[in-house]
Amino acid sequence: MSGPGQLWTLIWTFGLMSLFAVGGANSAIPEMHRVAVDINHWMTDKQFADMFAISQLSPGPNVLIVTLIGYSVAGIMGAVAATLAMCGPTAILAWYVSGILKRASTSRWPAIIQAGLVPLSIGLMAASALILARTSDLSWMATLITIVAAVLATATRLSPLWMMVVGGLLGFAGVI
């Protein structure tokens, strides 16, 4: 598992994936799982769930799970290559489109596109939650922690960091 071949695979994989990630990095998690676990066998289900956990624990945008996947495939160069491939092309695209829209801002297309795409991106994120639940919630206790966190995050203004810390402590204590 080394050499420039792996780097190109990472760049190609994540560069292409980013163009279809409607709604952001969290929408592409099922595809990341499919590519990293099912197709390329870069990691196990458990390792994928761990990387999601680490990416949520560390500061910065959600897209950092890609950095972790890249590292596990090809070390530091892999981390950098995967991250830039996932972030660069779409950032340039956004820059380009925002330039066009500034000149033709009266169109009603943005509203229609938004109305059409928002449900799609929510569906993708819901699928992400399902895929991750399938890899993480392997016991009744684990499922219960997920449900309680979902309810607390929906109904209260508790910091998400605290919920992850409590989840980690419960895991450490062997409850799961």
> Among 41, 140, 157, 172, which residue interacts with another protein (rule: CB under 8 A)?
172
Residue (of 148, 16, 26) closest to 88 by Cα position: 16
Phi–psi pair at 99, nearest 5 degrees: -65, -40
Smaller CB separation from another protein, 3 or 114: 114
Are 96 and 116 in contact by the 8 Å Cβ rule? The answer is no
- Using DSSP, state whether 21 is helix, strand or coil: coil
Q: Which of 1, 2, 12, 46 binds another protein (CB under 8 A)?
A: 46
Tell me, residue by residue from 53 to 92, as one string, x for binding to another protein by CB under 8 A and - for no binding: xxxxxxxxxxxx--xx--xx---x--xx--xx-xx-xxxx
For residue 32, the tally of other CB atoms under 10 A from its CB is 24
Nearer to another protein, 40 or 135 (CB): 135
Q: Is 45 in the site for another protein (CB under 8 A)?
A: no
Among positions 4, 12, 107, 148, the unique one binding another protein when judged by CB under 8 A: 148
Q: Is 117 in the site for another protein (CB under 8 A)?
A: yes
Determine which residue in the list 2, 12, 97, 107 makes contact with another protein, applying CB under 8 A. 97
Query: Which amino acid is residue 64, in one-letter code?
Result: L
**Rounded distance between C-alpha atoms, residue 176 and residue 159, angstroms:** 22
